[in-house]
Chains A and B, each alone.
Chain A
Amino acid sequence: MAKIGVFVCHCGENIASMVDTANLVAAISEHPGVEICLEYKYFCSDPGQETVKRAVREHNLTGVVVAACSPRMHEQTFRKACAEAGLNPYMLELANIREQCSWVHTDKEEATEKAIEITRSLVEKVKRNNKLYPISVPVTRRAMVIGGGIAGIQAALDIASAGREVVLVEREPSIGGHMSQISETFPTLDCSQCILTPRMVEAVQHPNITVMTYSEVEEVDGYIGNFTVKVRRKARYVRMETCTGCGDCIQKCPVKKIPSEFECGLGNRSAIYTPFAQAVPNVPVIDRSRCTYFKNGKCAICKKTCQIDSIDFDQQDTIETIEVGAIVVATGFQVQNTSLYGEYGYGRYKDVITGLHFERLASASGPTAGKILRPSDGKQPETVVFIQCAGSRDVSKGVRYCSKICCMYTAKHAMLYAHKVHDGDTKIFYMDIRAAGKGYDEFTRRAIEEDHAGYVRGRVSKLYEENGKLIVRGVDMLLGRPVEVAADMVVLATAMVPQPDAKEFAKIIGIGYDEYGFFNEAHLKLRPVETATAGIYLAGACQSPKDIPDSVSQASAAAAKILGLFSREHLEREPVVATVSDSTCAGCWGCATACPYNAIDQRDITDRNGNVIKRVASVNPGLCQGCGTCVSFCRSNSIDLAGFTEKQIFAEVMAL
């Protein structure tokens, strides 16, 4: 027999001034099943909560309704009070008679009547509440970081330094990511390699970090605290265990003229190669598609050269299965292919390059050893035009968002150019200069004032070659007239876009992505590091365009979230999950297709001899987030959602 206690809060005057609480108490007291109904000025106060607890104990209440503010406000408060009084905390409902009644109505009689109905319907609901217990899930206290750029490295180091194991997975032969391609970094002009390489080495040598390079994640299963990840370790054809990284094989390899991906095609590599000199690990890989041995079985010079016999042409891809409790996705970005803009001539003229090409030209370890030489003839350009927003903030052809870093790196490029070519001339076509960040505006001012960067506000409409010069035609909006510049080299501030396979990867790992393919956070403002899938976190430019400081901050934030998760052996989850009735489930799997979290599996019911009698749906409480979509989908009413069961809701509706 239900014994419900109802507690009507005045909330000072907030409720009492618009709802006749005496009337409310009188009406509710007579409702069947209501054992006690009290009113008080502030039930959320200490004496108020004491009153609730005392009533629960003295009357042996089986359920509690607090008619007060929104459950979003004080549900936890009163759940705790119930628990302290020995009542299951889920035997409580809050009747929202403040935000959704007293505050929004002006007629006391109407408001009182509405408050009575709201409270009554929740009394009917709470009569049908079930005792629920938090779900305890064990946690595998090992993390996986996917992507070995600066964000991934930072996250891995932070987690590992706190004493937890980390597996860092990178699909390229070396960790380092885009940051390793950059020459100098804004706003300090630190050499990128100089600050990054020590971090790379630290990561690979850290006792708690397992670095898997040339490896890709193929499958992710499981849920927070208990993920199973399948990683494909691609065949390097070089034995990691024995290779010393002497580089003899690279020297001797006869296939040399392969455009280097790392150098953005400005330099060459051989068929056996490390992407760059400081690669970590310093173990080469053989590019099977270009290697003569793999083409016709001849050559094998590398094998003959290697003094410790580390070349192994018979190596195969291997799949490793790794158990982890949490995952950081730090898969980074790509630069947009700007050849879609015919007017800029990218792809048509060799001397129209992207910002990333310029980084390689300016890098001391790059193909020109840091000299600014134009790709077509290797001459030093005397006039360089920079075009900002080449793809970004373009509704019609490019991407709608701002790529965030281009204003800063263009200013940096203009500075680096001025430092290397003293009598050179720069023109920067821009729409706006966005230099929000610590030391950023000062940096762009410095480019203008000290390094004479020639900013022109306006867009470029046409670019063509004439007498060995690139003629850039545009408009100067501030002067209101057309401009024409004869340039030797043009640098496009290309948009940052998601990795080309970002959407497929998002589906593999089970996270959301936006219209472009950037991964979605759980909440843009308040949960920017988590994804909507519990246990999977984001770091760096895979979420949105970011610069290095932002990527590093987010990586550390993701690490902090994971360390919080790893601070306990078990984690407790709200028990609002779906359950299946085995006896009525017909095994149509409609629920499984409806579930956004892949939380529904098939389960065999066997007799005592182990013969399968029936196959039914089964909800994994670790994965289930409690949305209830499966419940309304189920044709045979075999699934129900704890806390919001069919019985509870029908009772609630019928009492209204």
Chain B
Amino acid sequence: MSEPFEPKIVAFVCTYCTYAGADLAGTSRMKYASNVRIVRLPCTGRISPMFILKALQKGADAVLVSGCHPGDCHFAQGNYHARRRWTVFRALLSFTGIPEQRIRFSWISAAEGAKFTELINNLTEDIRKLGPFEQYHELQTVIETQATY
């Protein structure tokens, strides 16, 4: 049998809540799967759907978007914009055939290091079961070889 598949997960997080929550997991020496790569942004409101598509194109098997809980946004409303965008984007995803399980949206506060740890472990486990996102990665190769810029 081949080696167990290790997915690559890209996380887009806001600096005020989830990034701080991930830092807290670190300072509390909690342990989680090493598959996640965190991209720090000021606010979930800054996260464009294009970032998610680009991450998937470039080899990510799953994407996590996480910010402050509703009502807790440092910028008052950024996470509401992110949530609305996600609702619309989700519909588009299923239309284009990208499985929804590959994108996870969550709220993690600066105090929720344990929740962050749990989320990463669960997500990693789920994606391991789901397998690599090869269809999409292959598509990227097609684009790169055929496209004339």
> Which positions in A face B, CB cutoff 8 Å?
70-72, 96, 98-101, 103-107, 110-111, 113-114, 117-118, 121, 512, 532, 576, 594, 596-597, 625-629, 631-633, 641, 643-644, 646, 649-650, 652-654, 656
Contact = CB atoms under 8 A, between A and B. Distances in A.
A105 to B, nearest CB: 5
A632 B55 contact: no
Contacts of B40: 71, 96
A632 B45 contact: yes
A187 B40 CA distance: 51
A644 B78 contact: no
A627 B31 contact: no
A654 B37 contact: no
Interface string B2-19: 000000101000010001
B29 A103 contact: yes
A654 B26 contact: no
17 contacts: A96-B23, A99-B22, A100-B38, A103-B27, A104-B32, A104-B117, A105-B32, A596-B78, A627-B43, A627-B75, A629-B81, A632-B45, A644-B46, A649-B41, A652-B39, A653-B39, A654-B58
A650 B32 CA distance: 26
B98 interface: no
B64 to A, nearest CB: 13
B62 to A, nearest CB: 13
Contacts of A646: 48
A632 B44 CA distance: 10
A596 B37 contact: no
Q: Which 7 A-B pairs have the closest CB atoms?
A: A628-B46, A99-B26, A629-B45, A627-B75, A632-B48, A103-B26, A627-B43
B46 A72 contact: no
B130 interface: no
A627 B27 CA distance: 26
B132 interface: no
Contacts of B25: 99, 104
Contact of A114 (B23, B37, B41, B58): B37
B140 to A, nearest CB: 11
Nearest to A578: B46
Contacts of A110: 34
Contact of A627 (B23, B32, B46): B46
Nearest to A522: B74
B43 A628 contact: yes
Contacts of B39: 121, 649, 652-653, 656
Contacts of A121: 37, 39
A646 B41 CA distance: 11
A469 B148 CA distance: 94
B30 interface: yes
A627 B51 CA distance: 16
A356 to B, nearest CB: 32
A524 to B, nearest CB: 10
Interface string B44-74: 0111111100110010100000000000001
B42 A628 contact: yes
B37 A641 contact: no
A576 B27 contact: no
Of A70, A121, A532, chain B has the most CB atoms within 10 Å of the CB of A70
Contacts, number: 122
A114 B6 CA distance: 13
A512 B51 CA distance: 30
Nearest to B81: A629
B119 interface: no
A237 B27 CA distance: 66
Nearest to B11: A100
Contacts of B32: 104-105
B121 to A, nearest CB: 11
B20 A72 contact: yes
A219 to B, nearest CB: 20
Contacts of A641: 42, 46
A629 B78 contact: yes
A512 B34 contact: no
Of A99, A627, A650, chain B has the most CB atoms within 10 Å of the CB of A627
A628 B117 CA distance: 27
Nearest to B33: A105
B101 interface: no
B26 A644 contact: no
B42 A644 contact: yes
A643 B77 CA distance: 20
Nearest to A125: B39
A551 B73 CA distance: 27
Nearest to A633: B81
B55 A653 contact: yes
A631 B75 contact: no
A649 B8 CA distance: 18
Contacts of A100: 22-23, 26, 38
Given A596-B77, A629-B81, A654-B58, A111 B41 contact: no
Nearest to A111: B34
Nearest to A106: B31
B129 interface: no
B40 to A, nearest CB: 7
B138 to A, nearest CB: 18
Contacts of A117: 37
A631 B48 CA distance: 8
A368 to B, nearest CB: 46
Given A99-B27, A576-B42, A654 B76 contact: no
B104 interface: no
A106 B40 CA distance: 23
Contacts of A512: 76
A576 B50 CA distance: 21
B34 A114 contact: yes
Contact of B51 (A72, A596, A650): A650
Given A644-B46, A653-B55, A656-B55, 15 more contacts: A99-B22, A104-B26, A111-B34, A118-B37, A626-B42, A627-B45, A627-B78, A628-B42, A628-B45, A631-B48, A641-B42, A649-B51, A650-B50, A656-B10, A656-B60
Nearest to B37: A656
Contacts of A627: 42-43, 45-46, 74-75, 78
Contact of A653 (B30, B54, B74, B75): B54
A72 B27 CA distance: 12
Of A114, A632, A643, A644, chain B has the most CB atoms within 10 Å of the CB of A632
B76 A99 contact: no
A568 to B, nearest CB: 25
Contacts of B55: 653, 656
A626 B43 CA distance: 9
A71 B40 CA distance: 10
A99 B29 CA distance: 8
